[in-house]
Structure 1
Amino acid sequence: MEEKINVRLHGSWASIYSKRVEYALKVKGIPYEYIEEDLKDKSQALLEYNPVHKKVPILVHNGKPLAESLVILEYIDEVWPTHTPRLLPDDPYDRARVLFWANLLTHQLPEIAKKVFFCSGEAQEEALKEMHEKLSLIEHEMVDLIPKDVSYIKKETLGILDLQIVTLFAAHKAQEEVLGKALIDPEKHKLIYNWVNAVKELPFIKETIPPHETLVAALRNWSA
């Protein structure tokens, strides 16, 4: 008999990291309870479950907590291997390659995006240049991992990289309105641009994206 699933996710609507975990649970059809955390007034549960970083996301499975989005995504894929799609390839080499890029999308790109939003003038231009250079590198080096025909992108085919790229750039139109500049250039980074927009149009993702005005207000508040 299959073990009764007991899953809770502590997250925040504005966190790209908790949103990735939320999408992973949805795409694999794993029932869960979602708990929205106020990151300005953190709950006692959050502080107890993640005493090291005191951040979301936190996945609690059968009473056992896990932190860090990439760790949680790997855990979900290993604990529920029969829930398709698989988020990571089975082949060890392919899996290692995907995890390499997953680490970059988890750590490097969000840090560059922060610099773009928190800087101004010449420093912002340098950060934006760094972002565009990194995206060009990703398109070149990840060419066999980025879908060429986005019409084949479906809920049943998504993997860890799809979930990461869409949470990074689902709000790219709001980001562009706030910055007055594009984080993703549709001409220079056509593959990534099309990839992001195809994934964000999937119904189960589209319904979770806040209205444009809400995103713009949140980004302006974040960068103020």
Structure 2
Amino acid sequence: MDVRLHGMWASPYVIRVIWALKLKGVEYEYIEEDLSNKSAAILEFNPVHKKVPVLVHNGKPIVESAVILQYIEDTWPDRTPLLPEDPYERAMARFWIDFGQKKSLTFFAFFLTSEEDKHKTATQVLETLKIIEDEALGDKKFFGGNTINVVDLFYGWLAYSFGCMEQISGVQVLQPETLPRLHRWTLDFKQEPAIKENLPDGTALLEHFQGVTKRLKSSNRFKA
């Protein structure tokens, strides 16, 4: 089967798709895209949003990471299932994915917070993470129980890039003292081979986020 993934190395949306393909053992070709100079392929395969990730399977493009992950699960269901078999548990997995998507602006505000607002936004983020820890993770090792599932992939960015946000804002939130079970999950998650072997370089990621923060804060489109 012809499988190609158009992505950008620092995008958490792309990285979660890479993890899913690796966990499933699906062979694919990865194509790095320059989002400041979008390729003809991106414009052709994703004419609506013109962004990554784009998964191309047998010539047919699938876009948006949530849709792509569902497609991967539906196409290769017998390879390391990423959704529970039980309908209720599947519904709960989709609920927590939706919750994380709806809370994305909370994390975005923390990432780009002004000095005077950083403690306020940190409190909002802590409240959101506490809900995730108490209600979604609970006492389980992973959101999927003893094995990683699609909810882990959606929240996986917390394990490797949230620390960059904390460094940029100067406020520590996701710590053993404040969120012990969620912090433990970040460590366990990063030790899984398919995850560990496909994490972006931390130093390069911090530099990337610092550059993004500087550009956005100096843009008229964003007022901190």
Q: TM bucket by the smaller chain?
A: 0.7 to 0.9
Amino acid at match of 1:23: W
TM-score by length of 1: 0.87
CA contact (8 A) 1:73 1:160 kept: yes
| Aligned residue type for 2:70 | E
CA contact (8 A) 2:159 2:190 kept: no
Please state if 1:210 is matched with 2:206.
no
The answer to which structure, 1 or 2, has the higher relative contact order (CA under 8 A, 6+ apart) is: 2
2:10·2:200 contact (CA, 8 Å) conserved in 1?
A: no
Question: What is the CA–CA distance in structure 2 between the aligned matches of 1:15 and 1:131, rounded to whole Å?
Answer: 20
In 2, the alpha carbon distance for the partners of 1:193 and 1:223 equals 25
Query: In the TM superposition, what whole-angstrom CA distance separates every residue of 1:16-69 from its partner, at most 9, and x where no partner exists?
Result: 001101100000001111111111111111111111111111111111111111
Match of 2:96 among 98, 101, 105: 101
Deviations 1:110-150 (A, max 9, x none): 32221112221233322211110011111222145x62489
Q: Secondary structure at the match of 1:142?
A: helix
Aligned residue number for residue 4 of structure 2: 8
Q: Distance in 2 between matches of 1:44 and 1:160?
A: 31
1:136 aligns with 2:130: yes
**Residue of structure 1 aligned with 2:82, choices 82, 87, 107:** 87
Amino acid at match of 2:92: R
In the other structure, the counterpart of 2:158 is 168
Q: Give distance in 2, aligned partners of 1:71 and 1:165.
A: 16
Aligned residue number for residue 122 of structure 1: 116
CA distance in 2, matches of 1:113, 1:171: 11
Paired residues in the alignment total: 213
The equivalent of 2:188 in structure 1 is 198
Deviations 1:56-104 (A, max 9, x none): 1111111111111111111111111111x11111221110110010122
Q: Distance between the aligned counterparts of 2:23 and 2:11, measured in 1?
A: 18
Quick one: distance in 2 between partners of 1:205 and 1:53? Answer: 27
My pick for the range that moved more, 176-185 or 91-100, is: 176-185
SS at match of 1:52: coil
Residues 87 and 158 in structure 1, CA contact (< 8 A), matched pair in contact too:
yes
Q: Which runs of 5+ in 1 are unaligned?
A: none
Identify unmatched segments of 5+ residues in structure 2: 215-224
Q: Percent identity?
A: 41
Give 1:149-188 correspondences, 5 Å limit: 157-188=147-178
Task: State the TM-score, normalizing by the size of structure 2.
Answer: 0.87
Q: Which residue of 2 aligns with 1:49?
A: 45
Q: Distance in 2 between matches of 1:219 and 1:123?
A: 19
The aligned amino acid for 1:128 is: A
Q: Distance in 1 between matches of 2:210 and 2:45?
A: 31
Cα separation, 2, equivalents of 1:117 and 1:184: 14
Give the whole-Å Cα distance in 2 for the aligned partners of 1:173 and 1:136: 17
Query: Alpha carbon RMSD of aligned pairs, Å?
Result: 2.0
